[in-house]
Structure 1
Amino acid sequence: MRSTAPITGRLVELNDRRLWLHQSGEGGPVVVFLPGAGGMALDYLLAHDLVAEFTTSVLYDRAGTGWSDDAELPRTLDEVTDELRNLLATVGLSGPYVLVGHSLGGAYAQRYAQRFPAETAAILLLDPLHADYDNYMPDHLKLAANTTEDVELPELTDEFVSQVRAVFATSFGPLPEHVREQVIDKHVSPERLPTGLHEGLNVLALLEELRAGGPLPDVPLIVLSGASVDASQTMFQPEELVREQVTASHVLYDAIAAKSPRGEHHSLPTAAHVTLPLTHPHAIATAVHTLIHQS
């Protein structure tokens, strides 16, 4: 699919496809947001605008997501990080960067830092996917026992899409009105609604990539996590399992921070995994500001 640009941002030609990018602010280091599986860059607009008040901030849709052109999914961490590096070079934004990775985007941020340590100033992880995830989960929640390879998205009936739209109408309520409906429309479109599932099909291979990639560079690192649960998490999973997963994840995030020489973990009691960037943009901007002064 050759996408058309939304009302903000621009499409950047990169090799054989176009990637959507939105840049605001001035100065450095440049902050780059990496969305979670099925996420889109404009999901992070509120935090981006706050960060742009004190440095350059970049939102982008990787290939196959949002308003960027399609790509065959899933992709490897190296494919995605190569693409990001080429995109930043193409638009003339030099590192080192502050990488802000959410969920699956956290794995991309970690892999970028592993591969290009000299281009990494600091890392902010928002409820991230991590190589040690299964070590902290009970057996019935381990990714190895619950891969997405055999999972099928429910049939995209009008009723199902309406249910998803209703959840998104609440989730994306904090976005400015002039972008909210456009973001929701894109999320529930037939070509993008299955994206989160498709991007995660190779999650076990992604974790192997991280494990084989070696340690992260010695840069400031903050993990922000959500301790709450919202409707976007319980659409496909019982609430009791989600809460069990949240509890185990927080132990993992403590361990991630402890492993880093300059790591911190901050839990946000009223934040939930999917909607954290929408409900707590100030916490994200504050963490970025802290990382910049520590780097």
Structure 2
Amino acid sequence: MPGTELPLGRTCDVAGRALWLDRAGTGGPPVVVLPGAGLVGLDYLNVHTAAAGFTTSVLHDRAGTGWSGPARLPRTAAEVATELRDLLRAAGVSGPCVLAGHSLGAAYARRFAQLFPADVAGLLLLDPGHEDLFAHLPAEAAALNEEMKRAAAELPDLTDDQVRAARAQYTQLFAEWPPRVREPLIDHHLTTWRTVIDETKNEDDVYAELRGGGELPDVPLIVLTAMGRNPYWARFGSEELIAAAQRGIRDLHASIAAAVPRGEHRVLDDAAHQFLHIQRQDAVVQAIRDLC
């Protein structure tokens, strides 16, 4: 847990572990944001604040991330989903809820829906991964993915110059966040950036859980696809391969939406994967409104 003073929100005791959340707004169904790997609840403060204007909005940090208590990473999707259900009950958040899951958080949202369908009013999947991802991508994409994983695992600690450059980038990215939140959030990212590696070490196991976990409930579902340029991918693959991979991801997302009775697919050409909720806050908030 980064520091003892919370920049926002509060913690709840869940099975002897302090879990952070912030609740804003009134009405229902509540929307609950599930962050992507390496991200935390406060990364979505912009969406949270906007959604609180028309419904109850909840941010939270999974155990082992953000301002929640420690946990050994990686974790199973079932463990994360059960923990979230227990946290919402401890915090008095009455469901069913709209789950807005980003990237790895979308996998956790789907697992929650498989395990606790009565607690789900809708699903918003923000540029989600999927267990059948590589069936929709060029053959070279799997090798590229493994290369990126190895490179991330072997990254050395950040130099002072890299820290300064990253701080400047984060300061620009979170320019609209209040200073009391922005500064601790930036410090957190600069000191815990390896969390994304730790959280995704069991990615194949998480996808196996989803593959064998059963159908999703018949609730409204929206998938948002980010088709903007990903600078990290560009370091490893050719423009042609990356463009083909993005088309495959777009087609996969369309199939996710088509597989449920009330699914809808929306494509964002001007947003990249990691921060689509900042680059296209309007589209994310509109999707939440449509599901609520």
**TM score, norm. by length of structure 2:** 0.91
Question: 2:47: which partner in 1?
Answer: 47
- CA gap 1:160/1:238 in 2 versus in 1, 3 angstroms: farther
Counterpart-to-counterpart distance in 1, 2:155 and 2:14: 34
Secondary structure at the residue paired with 1:271?
coil
Deviation, structure 1 residue 238 = 4.4
Q: Aligned partner of 2:183: which letter?
A: E
Q: Aligned partner of 1:14: which letter?
A: V
Bigger mean CA offset, 156-165 vs 82-91 = 156-165
Bigger mean CA offset, 151-160 vs 8-17 = 151-160
How many residues of Structure 1 are paired with residues of Structure 2 in the alignment? 289
Secondary structure at the residue paired with 1:92?
coil
Secondary structure at the residue paired with 1:266?
strand
- CA gap 1:63/1:164 in 2 versus in 1, 3 angstroms: same
Deviation, structure 1 residue 153 = 4.3
Secondary structure at the residue paired with 2:55?
coil
Counterpart-to-counterpart distance in 2, 1:129 and 1:100: 14
1:103-114 mapped onto 2 (5 Å cutoff): 103-114=103-114
Counterpart-to-counterpart distance in 1, 2:154 and 2:186: 18
In structure 1, stretches of 5+ residues that fail to align are: none
In structure 2, stretches of 5+ residues that fail to align are: none
Question: 2:161: which partner in 1?
Answer: 159
Q: Deviations over 1:73-96 (max 9, x none)?
A: 000001100110110011111211
- On the 8 A contact 1:50/1:282 being kept in 2, the answer is no
Question: 1:195: which partner in 2?
Answer: 195
**TM score, norm. by length of structure 1:** 0.91
Deviation, structure 1 residue 14 = 1.7
Counterpart-to-counterpart distance in 1, 2:119 and 2:2: 31
Counterpart-to-counterpart distance in 2, 1:237 and 1:101: 27
- CA gap 1:99/1:222 in 2 versus in 1, 3 angstroms: same
Question: 1:269: which partner in 2?
Answer: 269
Bigger mean CA offset, 176-185 vs 21-30 = 176-185
Give yes or no for the alignment of 1:281 onto 2:281.
yes
Question: 2:84: which partner in 1?
Answer: 84
Q: Deviations over 1:115-160 (max 9, x none)?
A: 1111110000000122221211222223896284785241113234
Deviation, structure 1 residue 260 = 1.2
Deviation, structure 1 residue 239 = 6.6
Q: Aligned partner of 2:190: which letter?
A: V
Bigger mean CA offset, 245-254 vs 54-63 = 245-254
1:104-183 mapped onto 2 (5 Å cutoff): 104-142=104-142, 146=146, 148=149, 151-156=152-157, 157-183=159-185
Q: Deviations over 1:14-46 (max 9, x none)?
A: 223211111000111111000000001011111
- CA gap 1:185/1:153 in 2 versus in 1, 3 angstroms: farther
Counterpart-to-counterpart distance in 2, 1:228 and 1:2: 32
Bigger mean CA offset, 140-149 vs 260-269 = 140-149
Counterpart-to-counterpart distance in 2, 1:9 and 1:255: 37
Question: 1:247: which partner in 2?
Answer: 247
Counterpart-to-counterpart distance in 2, 1:181 and 1:289: 30
Question: 1:226: which partner in 2?
Answer: 226
Counterpart-to-counterpart distance in 2, 1:53 and 1:154: 41
